[in-house]
Amino acid sequence: MSTDELLNRHRAVMPNWINPLYADPIELVSGSGCRVTDASGRTYLDFFGGVLTTMIGYDIPEVSDAVRRQLDKGIAHSSTLYLIRKQVELAEKIAKVSGIPNPKVFLANSGTEANDTALLLATQYRRSNQILAVRNSYHGRSFAALAVTGQRSWSATSLSPVNVSYLHSGDRLRGVFAGLSDAEYIERSVADLREVLATTTAGDVACLIAEPIQGVGGFVAPPDGYFKAVKEVLDEHGILWVSDEVQTGWGRTGEHFWGYQAHDAVPDMLTFAKGIGNGFTLGGVVARGEIMDCLNAVSFNTFGGNPISASAGQAVLDYVLSHDLQSNAARVGEVLHAGVRGLNSPIVAEVRGKGLMLAFELVRPGTLDPAPELALRVLEETKANGLLVGKGGLYGNVIRMGPPLTLTEAEAKEGLDILAAALAAAHRQAVAA
């Protein structure tokens, strides 16, 4: 069956708001390490990992063996009506590395479910449905997760179970905070937070939910130390802080295990998903015990942390820690960042991210005008030359990369050569336009 035929069948039966990338979408049929192969037999270096989800690479025996061992026992599911050893072990491991005091862990299937749960906990604990969120954020696709998502192109509805006030994003390329130094940005943001609390809320806000580095938003981030300054204000009001670590967790930023740790402050809850399952469905929340235990109704999740995904999750976390992938993210991330900056491309307005989270924003030469058409060109050029990257940002003009944390220096350099050629082609297109 050809890919064209599969695309037609996809379009006929799947929702039209699920859009595969590329003018000619591809089907990935196998993978190994940091490489994937499509249905036509072409192999690509993968710098996107299925949106930062294949975190330790493809076909990792430690993960497959752990899952197979569980499958061989004949129990893929039992439900939380019964004790699940794999789930308890995984929760203990996650609690231990979370940095959250007195931690308890709820296991779910996705980032959306994790954030929904965090919002449920915060609103119940604080007996308030008022939430602070951040412009340009993405937190998932349930009603509550969409309600705290600050991007028009992802906001499919205004219906909301929560009442949201939005803080500024860390964008200092454009907008009212453009060009501010780190210290000025933090000072103005804190002043803005005080003004938002005084003017758009009834005071008793439940929580702030924020990504340390905005994923879908194109890796826009506030300066280090921002959340410490913000938390001081939140603490004056008893407002909780939820750090959405769905993209930034498990050492991806290189310098820290969690994104929040760049800010010298500890959140009340963190949410995780994507990479911890390395493809198996796994997400969850770590919360201080008294917050996690605040629900006064029975609640459970049929599939969350089932024996299969919990086995995978444990194998992934063990692998991340035993191979010190955080250090690899720091080291190889630096090669990538230095390489992209060194290209000095006139169509790149900003290079962003940390560790193995890297994005660059494409603009028309000599301006700050977003150039989504150049992002598309870079996507197509990189694909044609054997590299998969992603797209994002408020204007669809940001190229995003989040390769497996196992990426080698040689692979980083191989990808950089392809990126350099793609940027040169996009620049020629911009000049010709």
Indicate the residue among 215 and 223 with the shorter CB distance to ligand PLP.
Answer: 215
Among 31, 57, 103, 111, binds ligand PLP (CB under 6 A): 111
Among 54, 70, 112, 117, binds ligand PLP (CB under 6 A): 112
Indicate the residue among 14 and 178 with the shorter CB distance to ligand PLP.
Answer: 14
216 lines the binding site for ligand PLP (CB under 6 A): yes
215 lines the binding site for ligand PLP (CB under 6 A): yes
46 lines the binding site for ligand PLP (CB under 6 A): no
Residue 166 φ/ψ region, left for φ over 0, alpha for ψ in the -120 to 50 degree band, beta for the rest: beta
Indicate the residue among 211 and 361 with the shorter CB distance to ligand PLP.
Answer: 211
- Size of the residue set binding ligand PLP (CB under 6 A): 16
Min CB(149)–ligand PLP separation in Å: 9
From residue 329, give the alpha-carbon distance in Å to each of 259, 310, 358, 402.
13, 24, 11, 10
Site string for ligand PLP, 159-198 (x = CB under 6 A): ----------------------------------------
116 lines the binding site for ligand PLP (CB under 6 A): no
- Would you tell me how many other CB atoms lie within 10 Å of the CB of residue 425? 18
139 lines the binding site for ligand PLP (CB under 6 A): yes
206 lines the binding site for ligand PLP (CB under 6 A): no
Among 54, 70, 87, 115, binds ligand PLP (CB under 6 A): 115
Min CB(106)–ligand PLP separation in Å: 15
Min CB(212)–ligand PLP separation in Å: 9
Segment interacting with ligand PLP, rule: CB under 6 A, options 9-17, 105-113, 261-269, 341-349: 105-113
130 lines the binding site for ligand PLP (CB under 6 A): no
Which residue do the tokens 């235990």 mark? 293
Among 54, 70, 98, 110, binds ligand PLP (CB under 6 A): 110
Alpha carbon distance 325, 56 (integer Å): 8
Among 140, 170, 275, 403, binds ligand PLP (CB under 6 A): 140
Indicate the residue among 126 and 400 with the shorter CB distance to ligand PLP.
Answer: 400
CB 111 within 8 A of CB 244: yes
Angle between the 409-432 and 325-342 helix axes, to the nearest 10 degrees?
Answer: 30
Among 138, 227, 272, 280, binds ligand PLP (CB under 6 A): 138
Instruction: Beginning with the edge strand found earlier in the chain, give each strand of the sheet holding 43-46 in spatial order.
Output: 28-32, 35-38, 43-46, 387-388
Alpha carbon distance 407, 413 (integer Å): 10
Indicate the residue among 209 and 348 with the shorter CB distance to ligand PLP.
Answer: 209
225-264 positions binding ligand PLP, by CB under 6 A: 244, 246-247
Site string for ligand PLP, 267-286 (x = CB under 6 A): ------x---------x---
Residues in contact with ligand PLP by CB under 6 A are: 51, 110-112, 115, 138-140, 211, 215-216, 244, 246-247, 273, 283
